[in-house]
Structure 1
Amino acid sequence: MRSALVTGGSSGIGLAIARMLHEEGYGLTLGARKVERLEAAATELGAASVAVDVREEEDCARLVAAHLERHGGLDVLVNCAGVGIAGRIGDLSTKQFDLQQAVNLRGAFLVTREALPALRETRGYVVNLASIAGTIPTPGLAGYGAAKAALIALTRSLDREETETGVRATAICPGFVDTPMAEWTGLPGQKMIQPEDCAELVRALLRLSPYARVPVVVLERAGESV
Structure 2
Amino acid sequence: MSAAPDRTDSPRVHLVTGGGSGIGTAVARRLLARGDEVWLLARDAGRARQLAEALPGAHTLVGDLAEPARLSWALGHQAPPDRLDSLLHVAGVAELGPVGDLTPKIWNEILAVNLVGPAELTRLLLPQLRLSRGSVVFVNSGAGLSASPEWSAYAASKHGLKALADALRAEERDNGVRVTSVYPGRTATPMQEKIHRQEGRAYDASRLIDPESVATALLTAVDLPRDAALTDVSVRPGL
TM score, norm. by length of structure 1: 0.89
Residue 198 (structure 2) pairs with residue 182 (structure 1) = no
Match of 2:234 in 1: 218
1:106-185 equivalence runs, <5 A: 106-183=116-193, 184-185=195-196
Secondary structure, aligned partner of 2:105: helix
Residue 34 (structure 2) pairs with residue 24 (structure 1) = yes
Q: How many residues align?
A: 221
Q: CA deviation at 1:97?
A: 1.2
Return the alpha-carbon distance in structure 2 between the equivalents of residues 206 and 64 of structure 1. 27
Q: CA deviation at 1:222?
A: 4.4
Unaligned runs of 5+ in 2: 1-10, 197-201
Match of 2:58 in 1: 47
Show CA shifts across 1:145-177 (max 9, x none): 110011011111111211111100111111211
Secondary structure, aligned partner of 2:138: strand
How big is the alpha-carbon RMSD for the aligned residues of Structure 1 and Structure 2? 2.0
1:18-97 equivalence runs, <5 A: 18-33=28-43, 36=46, 38-43=48-53, 44-54=55-65, 55-60=67-72, 62-63=74-75, 66=78, 68=80, 71-97=81-107
In 2, are the aligned partners of 1:10 and 1:38 still within 8 Å (CA)? no
- Greater shift in the superposed pair: 121-130 or 88-97: 88-97
Return the alpha-carbon distance in structure 1 between the equivalents of residues 75 and 87 of structure 2. 12
Return the alpha-carbon distance in structure 2 between the equivalents of residues 209 and 2 of structure 1. 14
Unaligned runs of 5+ in 1: none
Q: Computing the radius of gyration over CA atoms, which structure comes out larger, 1 or 2?
A: 2
Return the alpha-carbon distance in structure 1 between the equivalents of residues 78 and 227 of structure 2. 30
Q: CA deviation at 1:65?
A: 7.1
